Amino acid sequence: DRSAAEFVTRVLWDRLRYDREEKGWRLFKPDPGVWEVLDGDACHVVGNAVWDELTPLVSLEAMAGRALWGSHDANQQKEDEEEKEDDDRVPPRKKCRLSADLNGFLGGVRYKYAEVHRHTRDLVAAMQATAVCSFINPPPYLLLCTNGVVNLHTGQLLGAAKPDQLFTSVCPTKYDPSADTGPALSFFRRFFPVEVFPDAEDIVRFLQLWFGYSITG
């Protein structure tokens, strides 16, 4: 299962990862751009990914009329079919899915990991080592808002969140670079009035940057 786990991890790396700290799976949601804890196990996601990724190659084998990669174990296929009939936990196959190609190696691989629950479950367990990721240290100078990612160093709106930015939460308001920072400015100006400090505006600007860099690094 190790080689299969590495293959599926590459396929799903931007969609599915195993959270090292939470000991659970996270699924990337492009809108709003966060990694959400997956409700339940990852068998459904992994099984569908195997099916979708291998189906074009299985079609090539079917057109060639022979196995193009490796060789298929028909005895294992028979055992898996018998086990599947006895496993009530396996959801019914979609009507659009065809039966596995007994003569195709990849058809057998697809059937094994996309159709037989025991093997899909073993594959998901193996992926806990290959798809592991830590979500506790996202870039401290980036903030995800409802309208995109903000670089807190520059105030620039960078656009939609990317999977490798590892956001697990989103600020519930939109970022507006022209918005009034009245409360903060009032606080600073209260202690540095222009009447006493002729360069008060420069001081306030310095304090804004100082606090910002202290928070974001």
89-119 pLDDT tens trace = 555 444 344 444 444 678 888 999 999 999 9
CA distance 5 to 12: 10
The string of DSSP codes covering 81-114 is HHHHHH-TTSPPPPTTPPPP-TT-HHHHHHHHHH
Domain boundaries, the chain: 1-130, 142-216
Confidence of residue 78 (pLDDT cuts 50, 70, 90): low
Contacts 24+ apart (CB under 8 A), 54-57: 54/106, 54/109, 54/110, 54/114, 55/110, 57/106
Model-wide pTM > 0.75: no
